[in-house]
């Protein structure tokens, strides 16, 4: 009975996941609205609020005089790039005042529920910001008490430094791995921002025969702008693959690593909730490739499918409200069959506090993982990281996952 249901579901056209808006799989260009970039001042002593930086999201702000209340209330309006859209309301702005004072800050969302714990810093270049714990949440809004003064406070859904795609080049340098990685631009977004490829190739030559007996690892990240924890975990994971210990050296002698770390640069820079500059969820465009970002990556990766790799595996990093693996259904036969199912216990056991679970899906939706399966005939995974994972936990997760993956993929290659 269950087999019958499974074989049935593979033939049903995919129309979207439960959390998708109705037209998510129609990836023809839609209208989006860019927020107006500006610095707004109000009150006495003057309060200032601004969205004039990359990854900011602030559509409007005004002062509400509370009736009989001692404190000023700043109401902030947060809107998506277009609608309908799923519930991932990103926000980011800087706030200061001419004299020290306490204020109430209210985030008001357009047709969305509060999702991300607000965080603040005086140093936006830092990857660790202070969470604002005492937030009271009502339908469509969140309020919190804040102390502000002449020193600028940056407030956002997640640290915005991780959002600065221009920082990617610096990341390779800062991680001491720039000599190992060839960084290229394989295409451009609607907003003319580069789609970056990081390649770590085992040899200069790429003929089919020479690749036989070796492996290929495909890594994708940041199709969805607010998913910073998946992106940060990817960066820690990636750095561990490029370490100088025996395991990583052995791995890089046997595997070519192709990574696309920032697939939606426009969405990230513009502070989008989910889409690219034309209002499209890029991770629903892997069938018709109507968007330049997905096309660039398809065209860069496709030639590798002509080469005779012995082992190929793909991972796409995302964030959601829990730590979860979305593998391809066990019943579907893939190259290195059920590899994700064999890898999962190692990741779960190395990170017991994260309560990892695994939920299988049919490979019938137009997402990058399924494109890897269809193009290479191999196994692939959507790796989802909890939205609010600490930097320390992301580092531990990324590094431990890289270690068990390298060990298992090397065993897999030996067994071929």
Q: Are 200 and 177 in contact (CB under 8 A)?
A: no
> Closer to Zn ion at the Cβ: 83 or 141?
83
Minimum separation from the CB atom of position 369 to Zn ion (A): 11
Q: What does each C-alpha distance from 38 to 41, 116, 223 come to in angstroms?
A: 10, 24, 27
> Closer to Zn ion at the Cβ: 79 or 227?
227
* Residue 60, beta-bridge partner list: 77
Torsion of CA 222, 223, 228, 230, to 10 degrees: -70
Minimum separation from the CB atom of position 289 to Zn ion (A): 18
> Closer to Zn ion at the Cβ: 185 or 321?
321
Minimum separation from the CB atom of position 269 to Zn ion (A): 17
Return the beta strands (E) in 122-164 as ranges.
130-131, 135-138, 141-148, 153-156
DSSP conformational letter for 200: E
CB atoms within 10 A of CB 313: 27
Minimum separation from the CB atom of position 218 to Zn ion (A): 17
Minimum separation from the CB atom of position 318 to Zn ion (A): 3
Q: Give, to the nearest 10 degrees, the angle between helix 391-415 and helix 228-241.
A: 50
DSSP conformational letter for 365: S
Minimum separation from the CB atom of position 224 to Zn ion (A): 4
> Closer to Zn ion at the Cβ: 146 or 259?
259
Closest chain position to Zn ion (CB): 318
> Closer to Zn ion at the Cβ: 108 or 224?
224
Alpha carbons within 13 angstroms on the beta-carbon side of residue 376 total 30
Residues that bind Zn ion (CB under 5 A): 224, 227, 318
- Three-state DSSP state, 301: helix
> Closer to Zn ion at the Cβ: 252 or 274?
274
Question: Which class for 399: exposed (0-12), middle (13-18), buried (19 or more C-beta within 10 A)?
Answer: middle
> Closer to Zn ion at the Cβ: 144 or 354?
354
Q: What is the layout of strands, in order, in the sheet containing 72-78?
A: 60-65, 72-78, 101-109, 141-148, 135-138
Output Rg (C-alpha) for the chain, integer angstroms.
22
Minimum separation from the CB atom of position 237 to Zn ion (A): 16
Minimum separation from the CB atom of position 153 to Zn ion (A): 28
Q: CA 299 to CA 231: how far, in whole Å?
A: 23
Q: CA 60 to CA 57: how far, in whole Å?
A: 9
Minimum separation from the CB atom of position 55 to Zn ion (A): 17
First to last CA, the chain: 34
**Peptide bond between residue 325 and the one before it cis (omega within 30 degrees of 0):** no
> Closer to Zn ion at the Cβ: 240 or 318?
318
Q: CA 332 to CA 377: how far, in whole Å?
A: 10
> Closer to Zn ion at the Cβ: 72 or 387?
387
Q: CA 275 to CA 290: how far, in whole Å?
A: 13
Minimum separation from the CB atom of position 241 to Zn ion (A): 22
- Three-state DSSP state, 170: helix
Minimum separation from the CB atom of position 233 to Zn ion (A): 13
> Closer to Zn ion at the Cβ: 223 or 338?
223
> Closer to Zn ion at the Cβ: 227 or 386?
227
Residue with tokens 């600065």: 164
């Amino acid at each position: 009975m269950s087999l019958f249901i499974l074989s049935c579901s593979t033939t049903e056209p995919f129309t979207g996941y439960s959390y998708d808006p109705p037209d998510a799989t129609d990836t023809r260009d839609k209208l989006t609205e860019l927020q107006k970039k500006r610095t707004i001042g109000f009150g006495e002593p003057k309060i200032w609020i601004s969205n004039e930086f990359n990854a900011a999201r602030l559509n409007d702000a005004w002062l509400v005089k509370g009736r009989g209340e001692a404190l000023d209330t700043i109401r902030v309006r947060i809107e998506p790039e277009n609608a309908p859209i799923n519930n991932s309301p990103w926000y980011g702005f800087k706030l200061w005042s001419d004299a020290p004072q306490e204020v109430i800050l209210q985030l008001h969302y357009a047709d969305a529920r509060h999702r991300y714990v607000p965080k603040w810093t005086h140093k936006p270049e830092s990857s660790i910001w202070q969470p604002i714990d005492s937030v009271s949440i009502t339908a469509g809004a969140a309020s919190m008490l804040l102390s502000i003064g002449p020193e600028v406070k940056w407030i956002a859904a997640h640290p915005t430094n991780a959002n600065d795609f221009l920082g990617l080049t610096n990341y390779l340098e800062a991680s001491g791995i720039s000599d190992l990685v060839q960084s290229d631009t394989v295409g451009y977004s609607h907003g003319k921002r580069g789609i970056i490829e990081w390649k770590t190739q085992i040899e200069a030559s790429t003929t089919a025969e020479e690749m036989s007996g070796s492996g290929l690892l495909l890594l994708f990240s940041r199709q969805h702008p607010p998913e910073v924890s998946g992106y940060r975990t990817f960066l820690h994971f990636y750095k561990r693959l490029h370490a100088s210990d025996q395991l990583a050296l052995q791995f890089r002698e046997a595997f070519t690593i192709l990574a696309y770390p920032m697939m939606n640069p426009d969405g990230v820079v513009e502070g989008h909730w989910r889409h690219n500059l034309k209002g499209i969820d890029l991770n629903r465009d892997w069938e018709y490739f109507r968007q330049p970002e997905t096309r660039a990556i398809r065209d860069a990766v496709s030639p590798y499918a002509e080469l005779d790799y012995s082992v190929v595996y793909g991972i796409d990093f995302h964030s959601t409200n829990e730590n979860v693996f979305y593998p391809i259904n066990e019943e579907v036969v893939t190259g290195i069959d059920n590899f994700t199912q064999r890898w999962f216990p190692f990741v779960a056991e190395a990170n017991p506090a994260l309560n990892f679970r695994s939920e299988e899906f049919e490979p019938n939706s137009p997402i990058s993982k399924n494109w890897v399966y269809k193009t290479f005939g191999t196994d692939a995974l959507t790796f989802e990281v909890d939205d609010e994972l600490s930097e320390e936990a992301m580092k531990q997760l990324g590094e431990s996952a890289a270690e068990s993956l390298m060990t298992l993929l090397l065993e897999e290659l030996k067994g071929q």
